[in-house]
Structure 1
Amino acid sequence: MRTPDSSPTAEYDRAYEAVRTAFRHSIRLVHRPTVTGLENVPRSGPVIIASNHRSFVDSVYLSALAPRQVSFMAKEEYFTGTGPKGFASRTFFEAVGSFPVKRGSTADAVKALEEGEEILRQGRIFGIYPEGTRTRTGAIGTGKTGAAELAIRTGATIVPVGIMGTERVMPVDKKFPRPVTFTMRFGKPIPAPERRQPAGPQRRALTEEIMTAIAGLIDDV
């Protein structure tokens, strides 16, 4: 007979926190990162973590170092591999709270945002890279409007994040992280506005506000 705190959800939460705690300790030990602004992440309610993206490890390190669980999108290939490597990849990404998405079509993008919306409506945190891909130069590119649309739909608070140095932790051509430091800054929260018409200009204006906030947290470009 299950006790109230031994439900599948509770067991998952405990497993997730155990993995997250282990990663947090190892990250701090190996990299000695500078992490600031954690107090800017609301302790409850729906939150969108909107960050720049420099390295494969960004989602893992954000998930480990944020004060609450963060769910990120991850390429479907990370969940569908076979053999020991495929099993390890799938187990790892599930353990850190990621969920699989296909890439390449408008329908896939819409489905991914629907997944994000469901996470936010559950009062959780959804992590997203507004630029849509990793930068190769460190410069902040043009943001896509998905984060803004989700915030307007759900009322989620947006917390901009600036990451510096993870491209040196795990460059594109490396398979394992290197023991170098990095910086992660959580910026001031941006409250979600109420829906206005026309919707397109409102989404674009909020997206520009998000990207400006992210750029303001980065000082190495």
Structure 2
Amino acid sequence: MLWSRPVGFLLDHVLYKTSVRGRSNVPKAGPVIFAGNHISYLDGPVMFGAAPRAMHILVKKEMFAGFLGRVLRASGQIPVDRSGDRAALQAGKGLLDAGRCVGILPEGTRGSGSVESIANGVAWLALATGATVVPVAILGTRHGGEHRDSIPPLRRRLSVSFGAPLCVSRRSGESGRVSMDRAAAEIQAALAGHVRDSVAQTGQALPHIPPLRKVQ
């Protein structure tokens, strides 16, 4: 996986012009969940390249085909079935229990990136491992009315901002479901607020949500 770090740097700072903020918010040791907003295919790779620590990102299983699939597996990324995948979460838990970092785009699908809702998987990982959650705002990977499956042109200005870390935990007398829903709400609020702040600081707006291209 050592080779993947230079590739991430190449993507962020040679192919694109990526400004990075908030690296000091990332704990230098211990398990970390990087939770980013999701507007483009490039969000995961851009987050990977900008982070001060290596991470294993949960990537939809459809991407694990052909050459790209071999690259993803070789770099330690985790295939996930978005309809529900306990195996992927368990794999992420194992990495976090070992003190490593996991990246997740908890909105689950590409949209406006405003983080109006998230899946509970990120909350389950945080509660099950005690990992610190770092919200990540990713901007510029899709503009205006660009299609959700478009790739930004080379040398576009991108922005990645790592927000204030947070920890979630179970409360005494609270059921597992209530704990998970509350933790998810806390993570959603932190990530959505960080995205709003990053938009204001960078001047880079979130995209609209055009329809997906029809399959011919």
**Aligned-pair CA distance for 1:208:** 1.6
Displaced runs of 4+ in structure 1, greater than 4 A?
Answer: none
Structure 1 or 2: more helix by fraction:
1
Whole-angstrom distance in 2 between the partners of 1:176 and 1:32:
12
Q: How does 1:136-215 map to 2 (within 5 A)?
A: 137-168=112-143, 171-174=147-150, 177-194=153-170, 196=172, 197-215=174-192
TM-score, with structure 1 as normaliser: 0.79
**Aligned-pair CA distance for 1:177:** 4.6
**Aligned residues of 2:40 and 2:149 also touching (Cα < 8 A):** no
Identity of aligned residues (%): 34
Whole-angstrom distance in 2 between the partners of 1:143 and 1:27:
26
Query: Once the two structures are superposed, what CA deviation does each residue of 1:145-203 show, in whole Å capped at 9, x if it has no partner?
Result: 211121111111111111111114x9534357532111111011102324542222222
- 5+ unaligned residues in a row in structure 1: which ranges? 1-15
Q: Which has the larger radius of gyration?
A: 1
Whole-angstrom distance in 2 between the partners of 1:72 and 1:26:
16
TM-score, with structure 2 as normaliser: 0.81
Name the SS of the counterpart of 1:182 in structure 2. Answer: strand
Name the SS of the counterpart of 2:142 in structure 1. Answer: helix
1:98 to 77, 88, 92: 77
Equivalent position of 1:42 in the other structure: 27
Q: 1:164 to 1:175 in 2, by over 3 A?
A: closer
Name the SS of the counterpart of 1:207 in structure 2. Answer: helix
Whole-angstrom distance in 1 between the partners of 2:162 and 2:155:
22
Amino acid at match of 1:39: S
Q: How many residues align?
A: 196
Amino acid at match of 2:159: T
Q: 1:67 to 1:187 in 2, by over 3 A?
A: same
**Aligned residues of 1:48 and 1:125 also touching (Cα < 8 A):** yes
**Aligned residues of 2:42 and 2:151 also touching (Cα < 8 A):** no
**Aligned residues of 1:60 and 1:96 also touching (Cα < 8 A):** no
RMSD: 2.3
